[in-house]
Amino acid sequence: MVLRQNILITGASSGLGEGMARQFAARGRNLALCARRTDRLDALAAELRAAYPGITVFTSSLDVNEHDRVFTVFDRFRADLGSLDRVIVNAGLGKGRPVGTGRFDANRQTLETNFVAAAAQIEAAAGIFREQREGHLAVLSSFMAIRGLPKNSTAYAASKAGISAFVAGTRAELRRKGIAVTEIRPGYIESEMYDRTGGSPLATPAEAGARALAKAVEAEPKLAYVPSWPWVPLAVAVRLAPERLLRRFA
């Protein structure tokens, strides 16, 4: 296993991004953390520096929908740390509404953030890794990327299916260039964004979910469902389920 010492995480001020930052800090990794909410981000960075004085933590404000700024912030982090060994594309949005109910604005925001903005982050990371001739790109997609879903999940599932295809193409492009590319498909993990959906008995507690995510990222597979139980068998079931049953997963 390659040691990836300098790790950039987007959307790191809360939820899965914050959880992964804590996990990698505990492993002694240097961090470059970015998010829109800088107050929470800076508080997290101060906490991690105090708890793990041997690590370096840089922060920056970043709205990933400001695509040019994505490249600027990534390049600045690379200069600050000397190199970027791993980039975790985590920032995302779950704001969709049922199609045709007058909320295209919400669906558009979800699609733009989860697909176009994620593609910008992938482009920025891949450009840096090409120059370095090594690196690990890890992209958080979703269990919902498996197939189209109804209700509030239509735009979200579509955005994640799209970025999954983008990641697969990126992997094929970069596989001979010393760059590892991983797609992570989390199931239900407790977080602020997930809690707004109303919860599920299948949800994994936040800390356990963060540990599972960090472990999966560290292994650098092509694709991982996290946690593997029950999401690996459920992935098969959802892929094969008749359409009338899909509302249970939306």
Per-residue pLDDT of the chain (250 residues; tens, 9 = 90+): 788 999 999 999 999 999 999 999 999 999 999 999 999 999 999 999 999 999 999 999 999 999 999 999 999 999 999 999 999 999 999 888 999 999 999 999 999 999 999 999 999 999 999 999 999 999 999 999 999 999 999 999 999 999 999 999 999 999 899 999 999 999 999 876 655 555 677 889 999 999 999 999 999 999 999 999 999 999 999 888 888 777 766 6
pLDDT of residue 95: 86
Coil, helix or strand at residue 21 = helix
pLDDT of residue 202: 82
Question: Under CATH, what is the fold of the domain 6-249?
Answer: Rossmann fold (3.40.50)
Token duo for residue 154: 């239509």
Which residues does residue 182 pair with via DSSP β-bridges, in sequence order? 138
The residue ranges of every structural domain in the chain are 6-249
pLDDT of residue 199: 60
Dihedral of the alpha carbons of 168, 80, 76, 215, in degrees to the nearest 10: 20
pLDDT of residue 148: 92
pLDDT of residue 194: 58
156, 188, 194, 225: which is the annotated catalytic residue? Answer: 156
- 194 classed as catalytic: no
Say how many Å lie between the first and final Cα of the chain, rounded: 36
pLDDT of residue 215: 97
Question: Rounded to the nearest 5 degrees, what angle is found at the Cα of 185, between the Cα atoms of 182 and 189?
Answer: 130
Read off the DSSP letter of residue 154.
Answer: H
pLDDT of residue 168: 98
The C-alpha atoms of residue 152 and residue 184 are separated, in whole angstroms, by 22
Residues 15, 40 contacting (CB under 8 angstroms): no
pLDDT of residue 197: 53
Read off the DSSP letter of residue 31.
Answer: E
Residues 208, 20 contacting (CB under 8 angstroms): no
* Pairing mode of beta strands 135-140, 179-186: parallel
